[in-house]
Chains A and B, each alone.
Chain A
Amino acid sequence: MPQFWVDVDTLDDLDAAAAAFRKAHGFRLRIATKYHRLVRDFLKANGVADYQLIDSQGATEGTVKNETAEAIADITSTGETLRANGLKILADGLVHASQATLYKSRVADWSDADRATMAEIEARLKV
């Protein structure tokens, strides 16, 4: 959500802000995302109401500035893009944590060239 929402830091705040927003603006607070089911299940489990999910398949962090959503639910690694767009992250709003995983085949026919490439990847990943 926008950084200037100094009154919103937890899901509890988001729920209260959504209720007040709906009353003042006449429609449910819009959250832009492409992860509909994950976000909906998460907000339901945490008892957040009076919001609506808006579909956004790209450049989601721009939707608030463009006034097509009031807040967003998206993936981020460092939060840099979010900050650059004037947004911040809820303290207890982590829906899902994930990491990239690389698997090495134990049955593939590894040539010397493949092994050298693998060594290079390991060196760069510092593993």
Chain B
Amino acid sequence: MPPTASILEEAARIRSLFLATGAVYVKADVLQPAETLLDLYGEDIRARAYVTHDPLKGEMMLRPDFTVPVVQMHMESRAEPARYTYSGKVFRKQEEDPSRPNEYIQVGYEVFDGKAPVEADAEVFAKVSEALDGLHLRAATGDIGLLLAAVKGLNTIESRKAALLRHVWRPRRFRSLLERFGGRSPVPPTRAALLAASDPMAAAGAEIGLRSMADVAARIAALKEDAAAPAISGEEIALIDAILSLRNTAPNALGILRDIAVDLPAISDAVARMEQRLEAMARLGVAVEALEFEGNYGRTSMEYYDGFVFGFYAAARPDLPAVATGGRYDALTRVLGQGRAVPAVGAVIRPDLVVQLRGQA
């Protein structure tokens, strides 16, 4: 359905708020190369984005978001600090709920500022909050950086940390890995037999395909290293669980995290950042005393947020998706910048939902 005049007006209103901060208005092509998005999100993105084919450029996708093209644009221009705003349609397949639109407008705001990242986090949150003023939305916040720091600080071998970090955004797989590394789930019998065999390759069969004998041998060596390493302690797993199950107001959550940091000093820097962020948010007029904080928030969304994360929801309309979402995505800039990273934080608002909620108010 084409956007109504009121949705376009709302998009322009939000965009003008972002332009007032000195943001540059940018545009992006509707058709984006599929390869970049597939390498970033994996095959899962095919379930959400429309794929089409170009005879010269190969597989293309109807943009599922603006973040990737805006980051690419920024990495080429290299200006910093930089603020961008954009608005336009994004396209998403809906595999479960036919009542959800598969094309809708997003208005976005992205800040690239490596000098003052905490202030940038606060600024993006405050700007989005200002744009949604009067709608009485519930704001949820979290910080993936805490979990990443906690995993990096575990007293265990690097390969386990890498496996856990890879699955931070897949909670089920993360949990099962943690159970196994903690020695809480049994070793599969075939793995035990493989590790006990004097020559595991004895009855292996012919080498076919590109995954080579050397790849198999390397994984067996990794499995042996893993089997020889002591289990991650129950205390450390309990600390990770304490972070994940955290659900409190931001100031209370900060107090609890400070206590956790006594036993898990690896998260100290992330906790300090959270404190500075809350101070910066308070300076911008955000009511941080009542702000919700969830340790688990942002883990099931797109796989690129790696720091502060937030969303705004209509409490009276649980059937509606988030009216706005945002967060920090430093790692994404490293992937797209071929090694060069720029700290970045951004958010998108859905003007169609704003109009819908205003109509009910």
Contact = CB atoms under 8 A, between A and B. Distances in A.
Given A47-B172, A47-B173, A41 B47 contact: yes
Contacts of A19: 163, 166
A6 B215 contact: no
Contact of A49 (B170, B207, B222): B170
Given A7-B219, A16-B163, A52 B205 contact: no
A51 to B, nearest CB: 6
Nearest to A91: B190
A28 B44 CA distance: 13
Given A12-B176, A52-B43, A4 B166 contact: no
Interface residues of B, number: 38
B38 interface: yes
B204 interface: yes
B223 A7 contact: yes
Scoring A3, A65, A67, A71 by chain B CB atoms within 10 A of each residue's CB, the highest score goes to A3
Contacts of B190: 9-10, 91
A65 B213 CA distance: 14
Given A12-B176, A47-B170, A86 B208 contact: yes
Given A16-B163, A28-B42, A6 B210 contact: no
A64 interface: yes
B359 interface: no
A2 interface: yes
Contacts of A8: 219
A70 B173 CA distance: 23
B66 to A, nearest CB: 24
A36 B46 CA distance: 10
A67 B46 contact: no
A5 B170 CA distance: 25
Given A9-B191, A64-B209, A65-B208, A24 B47 contact: no
B219 A17 contact: yes
B242 interface: no
A49 B166 contact: yes
Interface of B: 38-39, 42-44, 46-47, 163, 166-167, 170, 172-174, 176, 180, 188, 190-191, 194, 200-201, 204-211, 213, 215-216, 218-220, 222-223
28 contacts: A2-B208, A2-B211, A4-B201, A4-B216, A5-B216, A6-B201, A6-B216, A7-B194, A8-B219, A10-B191, A12-B176, A12-B180, A19-B166, A21-B211, A21-B215, A28-B43, A40-B47, A41-B47, A47-B174, A47-B176, A49-B42, A49-B166, A52-B43, A64-B208, A64-B209, A67-B209, A86-B205, A86-B208
